[in-house]
Amino acid sequence: MPAMKQPTTARDKKALAQREGLALLEKLLLDLATTGQWHLTDRLDRLERQSLQLGDSYLPNARTTLRRLIQVGRRKNLGLEERNSQAAELIGRLWAMVQIGGRYLDGTLSGEEATEADAVLEEALGKNWRLDELRERGYFRQNLHLLELAHERFEDEVTDLRIEVSFLLDLAGGAVFRAVNYRPRKALDRTAELPSYTQPLFLPEAAVYPGFLTRRIRWPLGTEERLPTNPDALRLAHSLSQPDFARVLADFRKQIKNPLAPREAVVLLRCQLIGTLGDRVVLVDAGNNRLETADRHAGYSHVGNLRRAGGELREQPALLARLFLRPRDNALVAQPLALLSPTKHLRLGI
């Protein structure tokens, strides 16, 4: 048997470490599926130790997902079904990382997987894109006019990060982009906050990451230009909203069929009517397609805000909404983020 070639370049060394990491992850998952009972305390302790071993494997997402699984196991206030469902989602994701990540490293991706490779690389192998890499691969775009429709932040206990997201509408093409800022919670005072823009924004150039419906956007620091507030921008934004829910939902379904794709997408929907159906707040498009609204987390009700704001903007408003799959009944639902008319913009979240 010929001796294995020793990696010489940094890239090869990293790929080797990732392969070893994926092998370890595969073994761990097979073991977990064989024995079950992953939620028992000693099993969770073992998983925690094993997650540490992934630390040198350049697989940050795999490690984070494993830690999320441990967190689910340790949570006391979770019902059995809910826990099983959340755990299966995470385990399925890890299993997809093993398979797709392995094929990527082996160069054996084919078909749709190959075309979406760049999009899921960040998730599968924890790829941190550099701006120059994105430029090389042709992900840079010039002269973008954007309008921020929503801005949100949340804290991730597992990664100990504060994540700030600005949802920006491309006033030329109508796509919704997300600018993301990751800030270690321990260094909040030493890291810059992602601004929230109330005026339209001009970017001479920006990298639009590979991805699915709501792609990440990033631009060289300080190159953005805040334009004067212009009523035309809002009118334009409203006109760019998607009038056909069915088409948007079909695109979203396609996205979440990829196990490594984000489980949510933010879209701008043109509503013919926003109203109530029993207790539910429902969006209706011109073709009478309906979409239920729902809150993503307990504690703060975006839907409650939509109920109020929808009473003011009644004439075919556009709604910026986060689509997601509600685990309880596997229903596609929309979390309202902002409501627009040609003359008014109301942010619904905080």
Applying the rule CB under 8 A, the residues between 191 and 230 that interact with other proteins are 193, 195-198
Query: What does residue 217 show for φ and ψ, rounded to 5 degrees?
Result: -125, 145
180 contributes a contact to other proteins by CB under 8 A: no
Contact 329, 219 (CB under 8 A): no
The correct pick among 2, 5, 6, 36 for binding other proteins (CB under 8 A) is 36
Cα Rg of the chain (Å, integer): 22
Q: Which stretch binds other proteins (CB under 8 A): 89-97, 114-122, 169-177, 178-186?
A: 89-97
Give min distance, CB of 6 to other proteins, in A.
Answer: 31
- Considering beta carbons, is residue 124 or 281 the nearer one to other proteins? 281
Could you tell me which stretch among 47-55, 78-86, 136-144, 206-214 binds other proteins (CB under 8 A)?
78-86
Among 88, 114, 172, 286, binds other proteins (CB under 8 A): 88
For residue 14, which of 104, 90, 140, 145 has the smallest C-alpha distance?
104
Using CB under 8 A as the binding rule, whether residue 60 contacts other proteins is answered as: no
Q: Which stretch binds other proteins (CB under 8 A): 133-141, 173-181, 216-224, 283-291?
A: 283-291
Residues in contact with 237: Cβ distance below 8 Å, sequence separation at least 6, in sequence order? 147, 149, 169, 171, 268, 318, 340, 345
Shortest distance, position 240 Cβ to other proteins, whole Å = 21
Return d(Cα 61, Cα 95) in angstroms, integer: 12
Q: Cβ distance 317 to 308 under 8 Å?
A: no
d(CA 198, CA 227): 10
Q: In whole angstroms, how close is the CB of 233 to other proteins at the nearest point?
A: 14
> Helices 80-106 and 117-125 meet at what angle, rounded to 10?
120
Q: What are phi and psi of 205, to 5 degrees?
A: -155, 150
**266 contributes a contact to other proteins by CB under 8 A:** no
Token pair for residue 231? Answer: 């009523």
Which of residues 47, 168, 237, 309 is near other proteins by CB under 8 A?
309
Show contacts with other proteins in window 140-159 (CB under 8 A): 150-153
* Region of 12-20, 55-63, 109-117, 280-288 interacting with other proteins (CB under 8 A): 280-288
